[in-house]
Amino acid sequence: MYDIFEQLLQKCGVSSYKVSKDTGVTQTSLSNWKSGKSTPSVRSLIKIAEYFSVSLEYLTTGIEKEGGETYYLNDETKKIAQEIFENKDLQMLFDVARNASPKRLKAYYDMIKQIEEPEGGE
């Protein structure tokens, strides 16, 4: 994955320091990612993907979805996701899957699906 990050750096003519400064992803995190000591968190990947205006799929695999779609379906969704991301009380939504047990993750999923259903079963 880091090789894709390096390709994006070259393509956009920016340094990893600038990406770090602009996204808040620490230089240490980038260095550990490069050396293989760690892998980036979902939150860091999202920040980097948004910085370069690429999808998470592209950042992690080098393969862009057909049509070059970005991570979010539309600008409104992107705006709401950014608001959630910037709200410290809600940031856990981005990392819930990483640390949740299957039982807890299923409970979160069921709760979200219930919220999505229209009232009165309409």
Token readout for 112 is 């979200």
Q: pLDDT truncated to tens, each residue of the chain (122 aa)?
A: 789 999 999 988 999 999 999 999 999 999 998 998 988 888 899 889 888 888 888 888 888 766 555 556 667 777 777 777 666 666 666 666 556 667 776 777 677 767 766 665 55
- Here the contacts of 77-83 (C-beta below 8 Å, separation 24 or greater) are none
Q: Where are the domains of the chain?
A: 1-71, 75-122
Kindly state which CATH superfamily the domain 1-71 is placed in.
lambda repressor-like DNA-binding domains (1.10.260.40)
Query: What pLDDT sits at residue 25?
Result: 92
Token readout for 44 is 């860091």
